[in-house]
Chain A
């Protein structure tokens, strides 16, 4: 009996010790309640992926690279945070100086070239870092701009972003070729000469410089705001080499204190740059943003947050749950949760959320979602009347509104042509004067008969390549049913994305499902998809080839935005709609929810350096 009692005491003691240990560990790991004894302003923000692959602008290419890199590095221009016009004709509509003291002065030369004169701010300095003498960041000078852009021409960075400056700056393409030859001759050693001259780069002083363009390239104005052209310090590149990707030394509002602040795939903690220059919250806004009360912080110094933790979420449910638990300041609304947050019919926030003061924002994306045809395919391709009518019939068979409603909660924008809103050339209300957007089965059947395939008779099965994943299988079934209504049979080939690309590049895919995210808000970027010089394996996956279109494209890339350019763009748009190299189109709208305590929240997916404008209410 005594033995048993003794044993029982020992068991109780062991259990107590184990429970104490567990409680101790839990307490040690538990977070301090937000706001208690913590004076700093802190927010946890989500990134809906496993994060950036590198923090070096020359290596960045994805949206996620952009989201993080632009918090550390800065470009010459930036998008105006609160200016969201209904239509955009040129970069001046939405851009403002960031590292510049004023907007660039552009003059056309008699020889067809164009000169851009820049003046840098005199208070822009690099982050303090060991790469600089005494560890003190120095002022940004003209040479830094030239150096940063020359890097894009360095094969060490695999030309990942050179396309932004290709065929643009006088002498840069030649410089790239000459340096590539030098590197090759040197057996891949460090033979790249950053000091070699580029004809189009002219330093006037430490803060002023000129860049001469081969022709008036409209894209260049947009490129100046793109994160890949951010300004880096040569000292940092030389000290950190290819580990610069985890050691950002920029001029931006946030800094990494040490490399441990970034746990790839997990999170990244940014700290306010204590030496950030005097930069202020904007006082310019479009009417809607004014009405939303977003100008409340106008004139206040940036950034507002002392510390930001970017959390990388791959599974959506975890991000969603963390928002419900108020751990993150905002969230994108994954499609499967849309009806939990919004009333589908009205797209208004559910009462449960609005009562809590949760903020909602809809962000239209510059998307072009389509089903393409290979214009070199013997069955579907070609520009003769029969083939054109066949493609037009296929376009008219698909009900994009139903597809939008079934698979996207009806929140996408369905439109004619390849230019999404709000770009110049987007047809008013999404309806172009020339339209073969379905569903119009009567007309589809008629065109099919005129093409020589009455009720689809005699038309072989069409190989339709689309990538696996998501709800692609269901969407394909939907499309099979739509085509069956006019007697056309699809032979779906659900493949990996790499196989899809290969089939398109090899011109094997008769028809394919694809999407294009516009790189910069100029319609030229989307119309380039139909330029014959970009045929597969380039971005012209349709292998569309019309000399009239090409001639117009070559005109618009060097034309100043304005009525005349818009007219040509509309003509190009209508031409591709009539030729029907694709079935389309749709652009997604992304919905965001934000906690009531997050201030100045106006998300954008066209640019990402808006974390510096975010603030948190003191009492959360």
Chain B
């Protein structure tokens, strides 16, 4: 397995380099500095801002000088209008080196956010991870747990009133926009309920750290997340379970007189784990990135809100770093998913 892991990681390197190259190129199609600076910005200010981010340097070790964009750094060699540069003096390799070192700012070598000028990008990301995880992990666990139960129950009672009722409810949950649930949650689950209770059980928005504040600030988003997310999962798990119910091993187990609960939970659930794991694993990167809508509407200072605020405020260093981290997470998650397949299903061999 270790050799498989090493091989997959090696294969992923060129993929990741390509993603970073495309992402960095895309972020530079329009000048990020003029997008960020306000109406009173002078050419001098723009030049200093570019220099502070190294945006005055060539993007790649080979660059063509243009009229509007003269060489920012003296090339090592120059043939006509084409210059060759030391790789580490180029934007692409400099940023890659940051990723490799996981250096997104420190007291000695700051890498400042544009939106919050006294804070490093790394610190902003680190600060935003915990609020997000406090929402996404309970949401994932509850959603997966309840959805698997609903899926099993519906599959086992296929065609019954319970099956139909459960499916109508979960479809209703996923069909209504999350924004509607958020507004209803804020008005009834927070304002109205708190008025009735006489104290603030669920805050309509905001966030305070500490486990003692979890119910107040995180429970409502988690409940809404579960209601909205469960529909997709429950329907998927039901379909998986229904497929399993027709398999020979189920018939055999029933024929051998195994109790119904054992057939469902011990036999069927175990054999349905591969699609379940796939589904859970593909959501793992989103555990970190959070839910943009939920965090934005509840003013939870997590990764989702950080990203949307960075985009609104044209915070170039933060957007670039966030995207690079997200891409890395996706790749790692894919590898992890393959490893888990093998652990769950002995028929899968990592080769």
Residue numbers of A with Cβ under 8 A of B are 22, 25-31, 33, 50, 53-56, 59, 61-62, 155, 158-160, 162-163, 242-246, 263-267, 311-315, 317-318, 321-322, 324-325, 496-499, 501-502, 505, 516-517, 519, 537, 539
Contact = CB atoms under 8 A, between A and B. Distances in A.
Contact of B213 (A29, A267, A322): A29
A157 to B, nearest CB: 9
B212 A158 contact: no
A159 B45 contact: yes
Top 5 closest pairs, chain A to chain B, by CB: A498-B35, A29-B216, A245-B118, A28-B212, A54-B117
B266 interface: no
A322 B204 contact: yes
Contacts of B299: 266, 312-315, 318
A22 B215 contact: yes
Nearest to A259: B118
A324 B186 CA distance: 12
A505 B34 contact: yes
Nearest to B50: A158
Contacts of B116: 53-54, 264-265
Interface stretch (B77-85, B301-309, B332-340): B301-309
A26 B215 contact: yes
A30 B183 contact: no
Interface stretch (B36-44, B323-331, B342-350): B36-44
7 contacts: A22-B215, A26-B199, A31-B200, A53-B115, A265-B305, A321-B191, A496-B35
Nearest to A537: B43
B17 interface: no
B201 interface: yes
Given A321-B191, A502-B34, A25 B301 contact: no
B26 to A, nearest CB: 13
A27 B124 CA distance: 30
B217 A54 contact: no
Given A26-B215, A245-B118, A325 B49 contact: no
Nearest to B43: A537
Contacts of A318: 186, 204-205, 297-299
A371 to B, nearest CB: 17
A322 B205 contact: yes
Given A266-B206, A266-B299, 4 more contacts: A30-B216, A61-B40, A497-B35, A516-B39
B48 interface: yes
B40 A163 contact: yes
Given A163-B42, A266-B299, A501-B35, A245 B314 contact: no
A243 to B, nearest CB: 5
Contacts of A54: 116-118
A489 B42 CA distance: 35
A298 B253 CA distance: 88
B52 interface: yes
Contacts of A155: 48
Given A158-B49, A498-B31, A325 B191 contact: yes
A311 B204 CA distance: 13
Given A31-B200, A242-B118, A317-B183, A265 B306 contact: yes
Q: Which of A158, A159, A163, A311 has the most C-beta atoms of chain B within 10 angstroms of its own C-beta?
A: A158
B119 interface: yes
A56 B296 CA distance: 27
B28 to A, nearest CB: 11
B301 A242 contact: no
A26 B118 contact: no
Contacts of B351: none
A50 B301 CA distance: 10
A321 B187 contact: yes
Contacts of A263: 301
Contacts of A162: 42, 45
A94 B306 CA distance: 40
Interface string B9-46: 00000000000000000000011101100111111110
B117 A30 contact: no
Contacts of A61: 38, 40
B319 to A, nearest CB: 13
A507 to B, nearest CB: 13
B208 interface: yes
Contacts of A242: 110, 112, 117-118
Contacts of B187: 321
Most buried by B among A31, A56, A160: A160
Contact of B212 (A29, A243, A315): A29
Interface string B92-125: 0000000000000000001010111111000010
Given A30-B199, A321-B186, A53 B117 contact: yes
Interface in B40-87: 40-45, 48-49, 52
B216 A26 contact: yes
Contacts of B204: 318, 321-322, 325
Contact of B42 (A159, A267, A312, A317): A159
B217 A29 contact: yes
Nearest to B32: A498
Contacts of A28: 212-213
A61 B39 CA distance: 10
A5 B32 CA distance: 68
A26 B201 contact: yes
Given A501-B34, A501-B35, A502-B34, A25 B48 contact: no
Contacts of B298: 318
B40 A539 contact: yes
B200 A314 contact: no
Contacts of B112: 242
Given A315-B299, A537-B43, A539-B40, A246 B119 contact: yes
Contacts of B42: 159, 162-163
Interface string B118-138: 110000100000000000000
Contacts of B207: 266
A265 B48 contact: no
B261 to A, nearest CB: 14
Given A53-B114, A266-B207, A318-B186, A25 B38 contact: no
A158 B45 contact: yes
B306 A29 contact: no
Contacts of A321: 186-187, 191, 204-205
B211 interface: yes
A374 to B, nearest CB: 17
A163 B216 CA distance: 47
A159 B187 CA distance: 46
Given A26-B215, A263-B301, A498 B45 contact: no
Contacts of A505: 34
A50 B309 contact: yes
Contact of A27 (B35, B40, B183, B199): B199
Contacts of A25: 211-216
A26 B213 CA distance: 7
A69 to B, nearest CB: 12
B313 interface: yes
A58 B41 CA distance: 14
Contacts of B211: 25
Contacts of A267: 206
Contacts of A497: 35
B195 to A, nearest CB: 8
B333 to A, nearest CB: 27
B117 A314 contact: no
Contacts of B44: 159
A62 B114 contact: no
B211 to A, nearest CB: 7
Given A27-B199, A29-B208, A516-B39, A315 B309 contact: no
Contacts of B117: 53-54, 56, 59, 242, 245
Given A29-B217, A321-B187, A539-B39, A50 B313 contact: yes
A375 B191 CA distance: 54
A498 B30 contact: yes
A128 B200 CA distance: 36
Nearest to A541: B39
